[in-house]
Every structure is written in structure tokens, then in C-alpha cells.
A = this chain, B = another copy of it.
Amino acid sequence: MTKKKSRFLQTPVEPFAVDSGLTADQLLARMEKISFQGRNLATAHRIWQKMLEDDVTIFLGMAGALSAGGLRLIVAHLIANRYVDCLVSTGANLYHDLHETRGQRHFIGSPQADDAALAEERIDRVYDTFASEEEFIGNDNWIAAFAATLEKRAYTSREFLYLLGGHLWKTTGRDGILTAAHRANVPIFCPAIADSSIGMGLSQARQKTPGAGYIDIIGDIVESANMIIRRPRTASVVLGGGTPKNFINQASVQAEFYSDEVSGHRYALQIVTDVPHFGGASGSSLEEAQSWGKLATDSARVSVQADATIALPILVSALATTAAPLVARRKAPAFTLASPVMTIDGETVPHDRFEEVNESAV
């Protein structure tokens, strides 16, 4: 009806057309033309493909009860197939992964459960999911026993988790996040390891063996920044915000102090349920991240406001179709993780001092 279309009215919304038998990638292809979070989820799918085509190190951050909630094998799949190159996780997600890899389960429960009755039976509740406290205590002991066997020195969380994954693989032979990362030589950082049952297990190692259970969490900062100094082109995929989201961004900001090559992530996608307007980092927008230099101002980016238990199964199922050829062609960075000093593509990456590419900005 309007004579000449406004510059604002270029690409029409295409109403989603229902068909039977649509696959995950077909669903997302149709959702790319609709609005709101449906469009954003489809955009996330496209941006992840672009990351895989480009030569970038892909960081994955995960917070929220994703492992307990049934997403751990998706994350293991992303690691094993190198859709991502480095995981930054809360301790809880690694712990609940270990719980299942050790052959134990989480259970379908209800948010209306009687918590006093659960406490009585020593069942722990995570919203609508239950688990046995006794089994959790068993895990703590298992972690403590393993940590007590290690040489008495401080470990970065990255080194410790690599060793833990190896021990888990050796004793169980089962797939999971920790075991997949061990086998694929994908580093895992856990900056808030002290705030988790893995941390509790480590603290109990001291009870068994004086001098055990020391983690060099500041070394993780150095090592993660050095990873970016070494390979300055990066991408960030964030599930749920929390410490992993900030740690991935901080690594880039820290790296920028020591290298002019670094200028923020080239790609960023986040799937979060928090909102920006209360000021917290978990919900902070990707636009805001540009002001800090966490993201390049010309980065491709999208924020999806959705529960990861809906968004991630669809997104990764779609990638399993669309990204398989990209992953096959991809030249991912090669890590070795078996010692205090990791290597990338054959070169060591120190955790006790930053690599200064420039004159120090500090």
C-alpha cells in the first residue's frame, strides 16, 4: 500500500508454516524469519556455524543446573566433536556430570515436593529433579581420595580437572563432560571451584592428607589470558551467565593488556534467563560488553532469552546436521593438558606470567 518502502521495512516476517516431520535445523530455518526469541535462537544457530567456519578459539561457558537437568551429554558432544575448544564451568555442573559418569543418576521429581519429607529421606532437590545425598557424599569422598593421591602442590583448576577427567575415564570408561574433555584434550576452567562440591571434595582431601587439595585459581587467570594472547581471534558461547560468562570475557580483557592483537571476541552468543535491568553480569547485554572491550564492536552476536533445557537440545541437534561438514573441515587448536604447563599447537602456555607481546600496558 505504501508507495516506496521505508529503509526500515525491507525483510518481511515469514509466518512459521507447520509441517510434519520437520527436523531441528528445518525448525530453526523457519524460526529465523519470525520474531522475538524464536528468531534469536535461529540466529544463534547461524552464528555458531560462522564461528566454526572462521579460525577462532571457541569458549563455552556453562552455569545453571545443566548437568543435573539432563544436558551433560550435549556438552560432552560439543567437546568431543570440537564445536568448542575450551570449557569454563561452574563446579556444580562438573560435579553432577561426575555423579552420573560414576553410574549414579538424577531423578525426575516435582517442584511441589514436600521438602521436609525429602530432607528426612536425605534426597536433595534441584527444582524438579532429585538426587541421593548419600551418593553425593560418596562422590565427595571419591574426589577427596583422588586428590589425596596427587603430588602435594597447587594445581590450576584446568590441570586438576584434566587429571580428574582422566581418573574418571580410567575408572568408568563412560562418556560425560569431564571424560570427553580429557579424551579430546579440551581444557576446562572452573574459576569458582571453591563454591561447589568438587571444592568440598578437595577440602576433604586435606583432612585425609595434609598438603593435598591446593588449587591455584590465579594461575587459571594467567593461563586463560595467555590462550587468547596466543590465538587472539576468539568466540564466546555462554549458557546461563554466572562466573563462566565473566571469566571468558575477563580473559579477553586481560589478554588485551599484553597484546594489541586482542580486541574482544569476534562472535558471541548467550542463552540466558537473567535480564539486563537489574545490573547483574549474568543478564548483561552483549551491547554493554562492547563498552568493556569484551566484544569487538563489529562482532556477530545474539542473546537468547530462554531456558537452556529448551534452547540447547534444539540448537545442538540442528548443528549436528548443519555443522558436521564445518566441523570436519575445522582446524581447531591442539592442546596438551597433562602437565602444569599446557601447550597450544605445540607451544607452552605459562600460568605464572603473562606473555607480553607488546610493551606492557600495565
A14 to B107, CA, bound (A): 9
Q: Which of A52-60, A61-69, A230-238, A338-346 contacts B (4 or more CB under 8 A)?
A: A61-69
Q: A297 contacts the other chain (Cβ, under 8 Å)?
A: yes
Q: A337 contacts the other chain (Cβ, under 8 Å)?
A: no
Q: Mark A109-145, 1 if CB is under 8 A from B, else 0.
A: 1011101101101011111111111110110110010
Judge whether B221 and A36 touch: CB under 8 Å. no
Q: A70 contacts the other chain (Cβ, under 8 Å)?
A: yes
Q: A70-B15, A134-B1 are in contact. Are A127 and B218 (CB under 8 A)?
A: no
Q: A71-B34, A218-B202, A310-B41 are in contact. Are A119 and B2 (CB under 8 A)?
A: no
Copies of this chain held together in the complex: 4
Q: Mark A1-14, 1 if CB is under 8 A from B, else 0.
A: 11000101111111
A138 to B2, CA, bound (A): 10
Number of A interface residues in the complex (CB < 8 A): 151
Q: A328 contacts the other chain (Cβ, under 8 Å)?
A: no
Q: A331 contacts the other chain (Cβ, under 8 Å)?
A: no
Q: A22-B24, A108-B13, A254-B203 are in contact. Are A292 and B125 (CB under 8 A)?
A: yes
Q: A171 contacts the other chain (Cβ, under 8 Å)?
A: no
A205 to B18, CA, bound (A): 36
Judge whether A278 and B119 touch: CB under 8 Å. no
Judge whether B320 and A19 touch: CB under 8 Å. yes
Chain B residues near A64 (CB-CB < 8 A): 278-281
Judge whether A206 and B218 touch: CB under 8 Å. yes
Chain B residues near A273 (CB-CB < 8 A): 274-275, 278, 280
Q: A192 contacts the other chain (Cβ, under 8 Å)?
A: yes
